[in-house]
Structure 1
Amino acid sequence: MRDFDVRRILIDPSSSANLLQASVINRMGCELSDLENPGQILSRFNEAATTSLGDIVLLVQAGPITLNVQFSVVQDLSPLNAVLGLTWLHYMKAIHSTYHQMVSFLIEDGQIDLYDSQLAARQCYQIVREVGSSKEGEPLPEPSNAFDQ
């Protein structure tokens, strides 16, 4: 995104918005005061309503394809840096497979497959687990180990 290698991105086909954490914007050298349309309410985000800090359009490159993507910037996506939702999948003409843990799309020269990182997924899960158990007093269930190999 915008000449930065952003990691810990969730592809979420159930999200109607593309989300970006405010700290990523700061690391890119952008000012939060430059965001447009501040104060939008995002429902069902983190199981609660969250107010967007504003919107920003960034170039996002996936494989050889680069698209302008509009993001709603939020203060805390922890442990994620970004969520690419249904609109991004649609414009990429991509297929999202939770079973294969990948996103695929066609280009002139063939097919591009983007695979998830099991290590990053486990690290994100562990962060959520630690935060969740400290907030509610009950630990989250253990993750499935089906893709350990």
Structure 2
Amino acid sequence: MGFSSSNLENPRRMLSGFNGASTTSLGDIMLPIQADPVTLNVQFSVIEDLSPFNAILGRVWLHGMKSIPSTYHQMVSYLTEDRQIDLYYSQLATQQCYQVAREAGSSSDNGPPPKSASLADQ
């Protein structure tokens, strides 16, 4: 993703996944998240695991954007000075990201496939 492991802080924290399984983080990193025209810096925990998600944006980002999430509509809405912005979930994009991560893991020449790096919001 274009950052070095020296940029990570608080390494080796235990995190619980959605399925209840535990994993150890590689560390935390602050990244700018741009949802035009708003950009917010969000702290992420980096984990090494195959995931259909590139990033999980949680309450910190939702509150910072002053957004309104809708699980029913699979979208997030927020207001700017001049309009309402709607961000929609894309199942196709999710499947493509997951497939790329799987293929990257299976193309390794040294032993078992490495797990792709994912980001999980604090």
Regarding TM over 0.5, the answer is yes
1:35-50 equivalent positions in 2, closer than 5 A: 35-50=8-23
User: What TM-score do the two structures reach when normalised by structure 1?
Assistant: 0.59
Are 2:10 and 1:71 equivalent residues in the alignment? Answer: no
Aligned equivalent of 1:94, options 67, 70, 83: 67
What SS is found at the alignment partner of 1:69?
A: strand
1:106-121 equivalent positions in 2, closer than 5 A: 106-121=79-94
Deviating beyond 3 angstroms after TM superposition, the runs of 4 or more aligned structure 1 residues are none
Task: Report the residue type matching 2:76 in the other structure.
Answer: V
For residues 68 and 50 of structure 2, the distance between their equivalents in structure 1, rounded to whole angstroms, comes to 24
Are 2:15 and 1:31 equivalent residues in the alignment? Answer: no
Are 2:57 and 1:84 equivalent residues in the alignment? Answer: yes
What SS is found at the alignment partner of 1:87?
A: helix
* Cross-structure match for 2:25: 52
User: What TM-score do the two structures reach when normalised by structure 2?
Assistant: 0.71
Root-mean-square deviation (CA, aligned residues, Å) is 2.1
Task: Report the residue type matching 1:49 in the other structure.
Answer: S
Gaps of 5+ in 1: 1-26, 128-149
For residues 61 and 36 of structure 1, the distance between their equivalents in structure 2, rounded to whole angstroms, comes to 22
The verdict on how the C-alpha distance between 1:74 and 1:46 changes in structure 2, with shifts beyond 3 A counting, is: farther
For residues 45 and 117 of structure 1, the distance between their equivalents in structure 2, rounded to whole angstroms, comes to 20
For residues 78 and 98 of structure 1, the distance between their equivalents in structure 2, rounded to whole angstroms, comes to 20
* Cross-structure match for 2:107: none
Using the TM superposition, give the Cα deviation of residue 70 of structure 1 relative to its aligned residue in structure 2, in angstroms. Answer: 0.5
Using the TM superposition, give the Cα deviation of residue 46 of structure 1 relative to its aligned residue in structure 2, in angstroms. Answer: 4.2
How many residue pairs are counted as aligned between the two chains? 99
Task: State percent identity of aligned pairs.
Answer: 65
What SS is found at the alignment partner of 1:58?
A: strand
Using the TM superposition, give the Cα deviation of residue 42 of structure 1 relative to its aligned residue in structure 2, in angstroms. Answer: 1.0
